Structure 1
Amino acid sequence: MGLRNTLIVMALLLSVSTVPFSGAASLKSHAFFNETGELPCHFPNTQNLSLDELVIFWQDQNKLVLYELFKGQEKPNNVHPKYIGRTSFDQDSWTLRLHNVQIKDTGSYQCFIHHRRSQGLVSIHQMSSDLIVLANFSQPEIRLIANQTEKSNIINLTCSSTQGYPEPQKMYVRLNTKNSTSNYDAVMKKSQNNITELYNVSISVSFPIPPETNVTIFCVLQLEPTEIILSPPYNIEIIKVEGKESEQTEKSSHMTGEPGGLPSMGSHRVGHD
């Protein structure tokens, strides 16, 4: 790019940096952590203009340039270092793809398109979009705290899930028996990585096991009011210590599984006199 063209583009960037984002509703798009997000421009191009006639660029909410296309050629001169090597332009859909998205990339973006005419650059299109970056939590995991005896009917356990975003609403334990379902809430402990901004969450719960019945435990991570993630089922087998009945119960306990065909991912026996 010659000095004159460089000065023109720099002046253009400075001029739009003083203009706030349009008051029109932004298009929202979602992307997953470490994957690719899309920042659309939706340029109708009713005049069938070629890229050689246009100057196209994207800015974030802090007025940092993600990408610039000048007369059909990519120009990294004005691109902020944090975006270099992370973008690609789809000419067919007028969409900028932002690769390896991080939680900190969540925010508002705006594309600008200017037409190069004899009198200079003329703004012909701009569009705002909001990028929301998500990260899937791992499937919750149940761990039994090994401080109980075979004859105790109190079970102590922890539930944990890692590497998710945004922060979940709550975490709790669900206990299923043949005839009932009970939920046990606990204070959710959370930690957030300073670099990735992803969350790890866990709870610790103690509760009694109903006598004379087998139970199945799930750890429930509630992300939204209608969205949850379940742990694999953890089965508690009740053994009655009464001679032959105890022996028969113990044998049948190996067949215990969650109703509906769910496999048993863990088991523990609790004895009752």
Structure 2
Amino acid sequence: LPTGYALEKKVVKSKVGEEVILPCCHEIPSSENLYNYRVYWQKNTTEVVLAYAEGKMISKHERYENRTKMDTRNLTLWISPVEILDNGTYQCVVQRKRSQNSVVVCDESVTLFVTADFSNPNITAEVSTNSCESTEMVVRCSSHGGFPKPKISGALNNVSVVWNVSWVSESNFSPYNVTGKLWLNVTKDVSITCSVEYNGFAKSTSLLLKKTNDCVVPTVPPSYNVITASSIIIIIFLLAVTLAARYLPRHGKCSSFFKKQSLTS
């Protein structure tokens, strides 16, 4: 059912800036006209929105000036554009003139729930402490400009979390700003979701929280066995080089001596 129309139990929902129609409890038959009736539309039983008598408007509240009108047949009250202050209970009272007296034909109330959309939630994360194993951070979710007072829910990797919530509003009938706060110990990358819920509506935002990696791997000194084995290999290599250096020259002299002997013979 679209907003702005009556629901069951005489409840109407509308958003700020829209047009809303509040139903009355009586419709004037085609054989009669408004001249024979008195009609009062009032809010919270004390504030007269508008009133008709003998077919003419006799009263209209200044706050509803240029925003309201009444259908002269079914007596519905039109309000446009809707404001947050319009939220509340309205009463339609219809009286019919009979000789010198007036008889109450009907007297019924209808409740108007006004909604103002919140902004899309904004999620921020601030790292407070960081280590190789985990990252501690403060996560905030904020939204503003909506009505009525909202709730904040959320999930961490699809597991519900409870926010520490605070609200700011100038009055009970002013837009709300809302902020939720979480303290998290993150050991791996996780997804956080924040939802702002108000009067049957909801707006959600998600953010990937990344585990920061500031780990410095310490330099491990080589073990004693590695040092010993390396030393032995180096010593053997040096001995081999030394022996080769001594042997190769002598071998060359012997070869030349044998060559000379064979030539003289």
**TM-score above 0.5, yes or no:** yes
Whole-angstrom CA distance in 2 between matches of 1:39 and 1:184 = 40
Equivalent residues in 2 for 1:90-101, closer than 5 Å: 90-91=71-72, 93-101=74-82
TM-score, normalised with respect to structure 1: 0.62
Whole-angstrom CA distance in 2 between matches of 1:236 and 1:172 = 17
User: Paired residue for 1:28?
Assistant: 11
Confirm whether residue 73 of structure 1 aligns to residue 56 of structure 2: yes
* C-alpha distance after superposition, 1:165-224 (max 9, x if no partner): 22234x244222xxxx3333232011112385222111222212233xx43221133447
User: Paired residue for 2:83?
Assistant: 102
**Alpha-carbon distance, 1:80 to partner:** 2.8
Structure 2: 5+ residue runs without aligned partners? 1-7, 216-265
Q: Is the 8 A contact 1:64 1:79 kept in 2?
A: no
Could you tell me which of 131, 141, 145 is aligned with 1:163? 145
**Alpha-carbon distance, 1:97 to partner:** 1.4
Whole-angstrom CA distance in 2 between matches of 1:31 and 1:147 = 43
SS in 1 for 2:119: coil
Confirm whether residue 129 of structure 1 aligns to residue 110 of structure 2: yes
User: Paired residue for 2:236?
Assistant: none
Q: Is the 8 A contact 2:25 2:92 kept in 1?
A: no
SS in 2 for 1:271: coil
Confirm whether residue 218 of structure 1 aligns to residue 193 of structure 2: yes
**Alpha-carbon distance, 1:89 to partner:** 1.4
Confirm whether residue 142 of structure 1 aligns to residue 123 of structure 2: yes
Identity, % of aligned positions: 24
Q: Is the 8 A contact 2:86 2:112 kept in 1?
A: yes
Q: Is the 8 A contact 1:66 1:79 kept in 2?
A: yes
**Structure 1 pair 202–111 and aligned structure 2 pair: CA distance change class (3 A):** same
Confirm whether residue 111 of structure 1 aligns to residue 92 of structure 2: yes
Q: Is the 8 A contact 1:33 1:134 kept in 2?
A: yes
Whole-angstrom CA distance in 2 between matches of 1:63 and 1:222 = 31
Confirm whether residue 229 of structure 1 aligns to residue 209 of structure 2: no
How many equivalent pairs are there? Answer: 207
SS in 2 for 1:82: helix
SS in 1 for 2:164: coil
* C-alpha distance after superposition, 1:112-159 (max 9, x if no partner): 223344434443333222222222322211023266669662333211
SS in 1 for 2:213: strand
Whole-angstrom CA distance in 1 between matches of 2:154 and 2:104 = 57
- Structure whose residues are more often helix by fraction: 2
**Alpha-carbon distance, 1:98 to partner:** 2.4
Q: Is the 8 A contact 1:56 1:70 kept in 2?
A: yes
CA-based RMSD = 3.2
**Structure 1 pair 164–236 and aligned structure 2 pair: CA distance change class (3 A):** same
Structure 1: 5+ residue runs without aligned partners? 1-24, 239-269
Whole-angstrom CA distance in 1 between matches of 2:113 and 2:150 = 16
TM-score, normalised with respect to structure 2: 0.64
**Alpha-carbon distance, 1:43 to partner:** 1.3
Q: Which amino acid aligns with 1:193?
A: E
Q: Is the 8 A contact 1:26 1:128 kept in 2?
A: no
**Alpha-carbon distance, 1:87 to partner:** 0.9
Whole-angstrom CA distance in 1 between matches of 2:165 and 2:65 = 39
Whole-angstrom CA distance in 2 between matches of 1:236 and 1:132 = 37
